[in-house]
Amino acid sequence: MEFNQAVAVEENENKILALVGLAMCQYLLGETSNANVTFDRINEVNLTKAEIGVVKSFIRSFKAICNATTDLEGNMLIFEEDRIGEFESVKENALNLKNRILQ
């Protein structure tokens, strides 16, 4: 599989990183307009429902194993928010890279 085809098979942070890699290649080849379009595609990447489902499944399993109380539920919601926050941080960093490179 060629590098530019990797974007289609990736999800979540890996898709963002694949787009950044493709944009960097385009930029280094002097194709700044293509690099700009590729960086803009990062805005379209969202955390997949499957990934959110994995987090929720983990929370349900953990609650069942530990006979979770309501206090634990609050902590588990923070875990879910942290996962979403991590994803958004990677996305933001990638978009900041665009601003530094394609000034």
Whether 95 contacts 101, CB under 8 Å: no
How many independent structural domains does the chain possess?
A: 1
Residue 61 has pLDDT above 80, yes or no: no
Q: Over range 49-74, report the average pLDDT.
A: 66
61 — alpha (psi -120 to 50), left (phi > 0) or beta?
alpha
CA–CA distances in Å: residue 77 to residues 46, 63, 83:
19, 12, 10
Q: Range of 39's domain?
A: 3-101
Whole-number mean pLDDT of the chain? 82
Whether 38 contacts 19, CB under 8 Å: yes
pLDDT for 76: 64
List pLDDT tens digits, range 30-48.
999 999 999 999 999 998 8
CA angle 92, 95, 101 (to 5 degrees): 140
Enter the pTM of the model: 0.76
Query: In sequence order, what DSSP letters do the residues of 18-73 get, joined into one string?
Result: HHHHHHHHHHHTT-HHHHHHHHHHGGG----HHHHHHHHHHHHHHHHHHT--HHHH
Residue 68 has pLDDT above 60, yes or no: no
